[in-house]
Amino acid sequence: MKPIGLYIHIPFCSGKCPYCDFYSVKTNESVYDEYTEQLINKIRSLRGKYRTDTVYFGGGTPSLLGTERLCRLLDAACESFGKAEEVTVEVNPESAPALDFSKLAAHGLNRVSMGLQSSDDRELALLGRRHTAEQAAYAVGLIKKGGISNISLDLMLGIGEQTQSSLEKSIDFCAELEAAHISAYILKIEEGTLYYRRKDTLPLPDEDSVCDLYELAVKRLEERGYRQYEISNFAKPGFESRHNLKYWRCEEYLGLGAAAHSFIGGRRFYCTRSLEDFYRDVTADDGEGGGKDEYIALALRLTEGLVFDRYEKRFGEPVPQSVINSAQQLLPTKLIRITDEGISLTVKGFLCSNAVISSLL
Ligand code: SF4
């Protein structure tokens, strides 16, 4: 049985960040208990049906569940789908200190992803985050003390009042905390968020400044030893997220929990944004997945790009000549590069990846 990824969505947060459109609710311990029980039942009901080599608890804020519930979930996943090689839990700086990381590590946890966003407390306040940089540094210390060194930190680009110098400081802050992996996302104003309603009054940098911040981030991260491997993801050698690579390489994954998405057997499906729907096992079909165009679009998010051999192995035919011709036409723009191995986007190309990918397809 080919191993797949397991994603478990924990849809709870202590408050709502004004820019966030992930599904999460503010609730109480009894709901955490009920949700954990339902997840465990679901995992056990699928016992032996899948083998997983990566497990990822995302949210929301999985750390809010606390050590005992997380350990029970880790055990259930391991008993039902086998021991995974990479097991990640997302935490935030304010709830992480309540966790017992050595106990979690004993139950299989070996990677932690923390939403830091910035090391500048003023930027954090503008983002509506409920922690300081010092709290984040303290939490990272506890994670390491618990024996987990594979730590990923999230940064955000394009925050109100962010400057090149404050961004460099945030990157250096992560490097000094010895993060193995850094995700640097450009702030997007998503419909339905508080930021969206206030978008005309937010003091956000203009598009050109955001592009400059992105290029600076790529350069500074490289200088600090983080190799870019995806549009927004950077890692010390060997610390790329194996779980997230499955998404970009169009490999299978099972998503459990409210709002979790799955890709199994060529079909995409998901549980809607509702605890009740998850409890009642309601899923929605999202159509076929893993087709040629989707594969190419996702591969081009990676710095390795669209690898000719890998495509041919998967689809039993070479990359369409039309794609190669379009890529050749784009060469003078310096948004793309073509080698004997494949086609990939440059840093400038990543900044307008949607347009570049559409023109290739
Ligand atoms: S950004 Fe993270 S902590 Fe904030 S509301 Fe969204 S999921 Fe919760």
Write out the DSSP string of 168-192.
Answer: HHHHHHHHHTT-SEEEEEEP---TT
Q: Which CATH superfamily is domain 4-247 in?
A: Aldolase class I (3.20.20.70)
Which residue minimizes the CA distance to atom 6 of ligand 1? 20
Count other C-beta atoms under 10 Å from residue 211's C-beta.
Answer: 18
158: left (phi over 0), alpha (psi -120 to 50) or beta: left
Tokens of 339: 């080698």
* Atom of ligand 1 at shortest range from CA of 129: 4
What's the CA gap between 168 and 328, in Å, rounded? 35
Residue nearest to atom 4 of ligand 1 (CA): 17
Residue linked to tokens 């923390």: 114
Q: Compute the distance from residue 17 Cα to the ligand 1 centre, in Å.
A: 5
Q: Is 130 in the pocket of ligand 1 (CB under 6 A)?
A: no
Q: Please indicate whether residue 185, judged by its CB atom, sits closer than 6 Å to ligand 1.
A: no
**259 CA distance to ligand 1 centroid (A)?**
14
For residue 136 and ligand 1, the question of a CB distance below 6 A is answered with no
Q: Is 31 exposed, middle or buried (0-12, 13-18, 19+ CB in 10 A)?
A: middle
Query: Distance from the CA of 189 to the center of ligand 1, in angstroms?
Result: 14
Q: In this structure, what are the phi and psi dihedrals at residue 189, rounded to the nearest 5 degrees?
A: -90, 105
Residue with token string 């992560």 = 174
7 in Cβ contact with 56 (< 8 Å): yes
Cβ atoms of 16 and 24 closer than 8 Å: yes
Distance 92 CA to ligand 1 centre (A): 9
**Separate counts of helices (H) and strands (E) for the chain:** 15, 15
State the distance from the centre of ligand 1 to the C-alpha of 333, rounded, in angstroms.
37
Asked whether 11 and 25 are in contact (CB, 8 A), the reply is yes
E strand or H helix at 117 = strand 111-117
- Specify the domain boundaries for CATH 3.20.20.70 within the chain: 4-247
The per-residue pLDDT string of the chain (361 residues; one tens digit each, 9 = 90 and over) reads 999 999 999 999 999 999 999 999 999 999 999 999 999 999 999 999 999 999 999 999 999 999 999 999 999 999 999 999 999 999 999 999 999 999 999 999 999 999 999 999 999 999 999 999 999 999 999 999 999 999 999 999 999 889 999 999 999 999 999 999 999 999 999 999 999 999 899 989 999 999 999 999 999 999 999 999 999 999 999 999 999 999 999 999 999 999 999 999 999 999 999 999 999 999 999 999 999 999 999 999 999 999 999 999 999 999 999 999 999 999 999 999 999 999 999 999 999 999 999 999 9
CB atoms < 10 A from the CB of 131, how many? 20
Question: Which pLDDT does position 203 carry in this prediction?
Answer: 87
DSSP class of residue 231? T
Question: What letter does residue 205 receive in the DSSP assignment?
Answer: P
DSSP H or E segment with residue 357: helix 353-360
CB-ligand 1 contact for 13 (6 Å cutoff): yes
In the numeric block, the tokens 């779980």 are attached to 243
Atom of ligand 1 nearest to the CA of 90: 2
Index of the ligand 1 atom closest to the CA of residue 59 = 7
Tokens of residue 109, six digits? 């946890």
Give the residue whose CA is nearest to atom 2 of ligand 1.
60
Does ligand 1 lie within 6 Å of residue 63's CB atom? no
Query: Ligand 1, residues 22, 23, 129: which to mutate, most atoms within 8 A of Cβ?
Result: 22
Q: Is 24 in the pocket of ligand 1 (CB under 6 A)?
A: yes
**Rama region for 147: left / alpha / beta (φ>0; ψ in -120 to 50; rest):** left
Cα–Cα distance measured from residue 209 to residue 164, given in angstroms and rounded to the nearest whole number: 9
State the closest ligand 1 atom to the C-alpha of 128, by its place in the atom list counted from 1.
4
Phi, psi of 336 (to 5 degrees): -145, 155
The predicted pLDDT at position 92 comes to 96
